Structure 1
Amino acid sequence: MSTRIVFVASLPRSGSTLLQKMLSVSTDVASSAEPWVMLPFWGMRQAGAGRSVYFHHTAANAINDFIGNVPDGEAAWARAVGDFARPLYTAAAAGKPVFLDKTPRYYLMLPLLRQALPEAPVVVLLRNPLAVLASICETFNRGRFIWFEYWLDWVEGHRCLARALREGGPEQIVVRYEDMVSAPAEVLPAVCERIGIRYCDDMVSGYRSAQLKGRMGDPTGVHRYAAVSSASVDKWQDFFDSAYRRRVAAHMLSLIDPQDLATLGYPLESLVEALNATSPKRGFDLRSRIDHLTGTLASTLDFRYLQARWRARKNGEPHAYGYYRAL
């Protein structure tokens, strides 16, 4: 029996772990925390995607030259990636008919996933960008107003997800976080039907029992509430409780193409209006200013960061943030 592969792509802190756990309640679904197993195939051909002892940027250029000289090379490359993935996911499924790979940054490689595994449904999960930003700061940076490690998600992530929505595709499933947590019993049955499994009420009421092996995934969100809750939809407003934070957030919104925001369903005007809807609770907000300054200095003094930005500008590449930085 062949395994049906299902991908979930989103920005970090968009509810992907919640969706994964709810779907994993089904006895037909196998999954693990976050495999990340397909991302290296995207990175292999991106000169700025990483550092290595063998000089990754040189290897990426060589690989692109090699594929360019293979007859029908792009199609052959996509087939090779698919041939790698299918038996691996089948083994990981351990006899279950569906394997769910939830790796948020697959948004980077959705075109390749479609080419390599055209039969695989892709769930594109969307969330209010301001809620994503607030959750990143609160979860990964312990409430500090620091986000520089996530420039990739902010700049490239929104662009890639908007592109995915414009291109569509028969196997693409679009889910909005706000709908998922407000009306899970309405959203999940449609998702289950598209990926070929049966919906059950335990997906909503018993998702916390789903066990996922692996170190990656949501460290807080799925444990915060006893059941699926819409309380998180507007929680981001509490984070932007100073004029300074709101000013910086508004500037960050301006870095995203307004057409992309409209495509994603979060128009710029509506986001700015919601951002300024309530009065700030804090005044000068010295802590956020220090956090911002600390993050800026850390990025500015990082030689690898400067080198990668220079290389990206020299090569006319569309972005120079995030993914090339060594962890």
Structure 2
Amino acid sequence: MLLTGSLAGCRQTAAAPTPAGSPSMSIGIDIPRTDTAFWQVYARELRQEVSAEHLDVLPITESQGDDTKLAANVKALAEHRPRAIVLAPQNTTTTESVLDGLLAKHIDAISVDTVPENGQVYMVVRADNRAMGTKACEFLGKQLHGTGKVADLQGAQDSINGYDRSQAFGYCMRTEFPGIQVLPLATDWKAEMATTKLQSTLASDPDLAGLYLESGGAFLQPVLALLQHEAVLQPAGRPGHIAIVANDGTPAELDAIRTGQIDATVSQPADLYAKYALYYARAAATGAAFAPGPTDHGSTIIALPNGLEDQLPSPLVTKNNVADPALWGNHATGG
């Protein structure tokens, strides 16, 4: 809910000179990583949005998943006194000094996909990750008619996203499908760890009936290759098919749904992450204020102990809606 300020038709162009020590109207951006299809698309969409909207943006930095590099990049961006900085801390427990430094300089922070545990944020832009885990559970539970074994390839549990997805998935299975046994496989978001543990699980539990890939962008291709190698990759509808739900909504995941290799994915909107990260950066530059409640773009803003979070929608994608042109995976390339 926008309380003050209007962004309609707003375009940021070259910033006017500002007094020494005062924030400008420019925006700083740090891209967290480009080693997965999801983040590659996010980075591309971000640059396209900057270009299309003619935004006044400082040279974009990349921190490559390194906390130290992120801190250095943000410090360097802050020296130019932008009004806001878009970032995505991969370790959410070490953000206090970075965010406190921005607050001291009256620079607003917009965090994408992750929720900093310490330090003030103007807005977090992310999907409801607990809802993602619940959607995956409900789909798999119904596909398996409430019985069987399911392996959960978990994201890192020191990551709020991995923790939320895992906790919600497990809780949903225990309460809604008690006849299904969940085998949690910790992966730390690493594909090699995921496939190693899955290979052991296939050997110890040959009756495995379902899989939840908490990161389709990281796990899809290696998992499919492993299942093929183990001769257990059967298309949907065939005897022996292992029901698979992924999480991200990359083009490769949508293609895998079309061919029946997997059954569904929960689409994490990489394009909307980019769009609304810049939306809130522009809002910060104009002094706009927000409050908890529904937005005019189909999401809900919630209150955090250290700021606000805009929870963008993350639809479940199956063969019934995989062709929907609104899905970011249908207008992105690669991944």
Shorter-chain TM-score tier: under 0.3
More strand by share: 2
Q: Which has the higher contact order (CA 8 A, sep 6+)?
A: 1
TM-score by length of 2: 0.26
More helix by share: 1
TM-score by length of 1: 0.26
